[in-house]
């Protein structure tokens, strides 16, 4: 299920530091939208607010038309992919991918370490999850890596595992926070193509945070340029490049001036 994201008048401050001053933005269902802007302009904060990992001071988030503001992160049907992969080091790749899915399918009782094993449903759930893990592992070409721990994987392989973990729950939207920034330049270019391909295949909504304007301009349907706690301009890569609304936009995008 895909869903657009409506971001309305989001405000956020950390103490005296105002980070978002009324950000409004509609992410269309199924589009690849990049949030770009200089370091510290609030991109990660906005993404975390959409995911429910951070609470806004004012404004509203809705996904697929449904208000999100009272919902916990796991109730929002979005998956977050982080720059540092955020994998559990003591679990295998396969377990890392399976864990959120197992948790979402087990009842509260069944999650209890000892009592849970008494549940007759548990084996069936585990078998179903194993099948889903194999399916996404196949799509991302990591089937041979499922028994390895993160420490035994390269950066690119870890990022694929993190993507698989996000995909396995079939979220309405993927929220990605600089997912390629820890990879070397060559792999980064390769993974760009893979992510674009993945987006086409899944048809899901992607919100992609990056400070790399080339990445944003080549991968996105639309780009939102943020600075000073606001969206300065939102448009297709061509629009931003050819018709920057201000000098700041032109400079960031690298338009001819």
The residues binding ligand ADP (CB under 6 A) are 14, 17, 19, 37, 39-45
> Phi-psi bin for 173: left (phi > 0), alpha (psi -120 to 50), beta?
beta
Two tokens, residue 62: 């809705």
Q: Name the site residues for Mg ion (rule: CB under 5 A).
A: 44
Residue 26 vs 54, nearer CB to ligand ADP: 54
Q: Are 120 and 185 in contact (CB under 8 A)?
A: no
Task: Quickly list DSSP for 81-136.
Answer: E-TT----TTS-HHHHHHHHHHHHHS-TGGGSTTGGGG-TTHHHHHHHHHHHHHHH
Residue 94 vs 208, nearer CB to ligand ADP: 208
- What's 28's DSSP letter? P
The one of ligand ADP, Mg ion, none whose footprint includes residue 40, by CB under 5 to 8 A per kind, is ligand ADP
Q: How far is the CB of 51 from ligand ADP (least distance, A)?
A: 13
Q: Cα dihedral sign for 48, 145, 137, 92?
A: negative
Q: How far is the CB of 239 from ligand ADP (least distance, A)?
A: 22
The one of Mg ion, ligand ADP, none whose footprint includes residue 14, by CB under 5 to 8 A per kind, is ligand ADP
Residue 98 vs 176, nearer CB to Mg ion: 176
Q: How far is the CB of 46 from ligand ADP (least distance, A)?
A: 7
Q: How far is the CB of 205 from ligand ADP (least distance, A)?
A: 20
Residue 41 vs 232, nearer CB to ligand ADP: 41
Closest residue to Mg ion, Cβ-based?
A: 44
Name every residue whose Cβ is closer than 8 Å to that of residue 89 and which is 6 or more positions away in sequence: 149, 150, 151
Q: How far is the CB of 47 from Mg ion (least distance, A)?
A: 8
Residue 2 vs 13, nearer CB to ligand ADP: 13
Q: Are 1 and 169 in contact (CB under 8 A)?
A: no
């Amino acid at each position: 299920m895909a869903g657009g994201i409506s971001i309305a008048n989001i405000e956020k401050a950390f103490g005296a530091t105002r980070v978002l001053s009324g950000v409004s933005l509609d992410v269309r269902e199924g589009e690849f939208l990049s949030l770009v802007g200089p370091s510290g302009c609030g991109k990660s904060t906005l993404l975390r607010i959409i995911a429910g990992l951070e609470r806004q001071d004012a404004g509203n988030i809705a996904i697929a038309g449904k208000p999100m503001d009272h919902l916990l992160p796991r109730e929002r049907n979005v998956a977050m992919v982080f720059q540092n992969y955020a994998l559990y080091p003591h679990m295998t790749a396969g377990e890392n991918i399976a864990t959120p899915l197992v948790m979402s399918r087990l009842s509260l009782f069944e999650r209890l370490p000892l009592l849970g094993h008494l549940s007759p449903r548990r084996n069936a759930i585990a078998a179903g999850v194993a099948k889903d893990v194999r399916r996404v592992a196949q799509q991302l070409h990591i089937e041979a890596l499922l028994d390895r721990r993160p420490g035994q994987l390269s950066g690119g392989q870890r990022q694929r595992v993190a993507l698989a973990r996000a995909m396995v729950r079939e979220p309405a939207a993927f929220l990605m926070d600089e997912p390629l920034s820890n990879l070397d330049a060559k792999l980064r270019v390769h993974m760009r193509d893979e992510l674009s391909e993945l987006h086409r295949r899944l048809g899901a909504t992607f919100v992609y945070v990056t400070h790399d304007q080339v990445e944003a301009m080549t991968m996105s349907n639309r780009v939102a340029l943020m600075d000073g706690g606001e969206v300065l301009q939102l448009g297709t890569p061509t629009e931003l490049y050819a018709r920057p609304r201000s000098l700041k936009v032109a400079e960031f995008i690298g338009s001819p001036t």
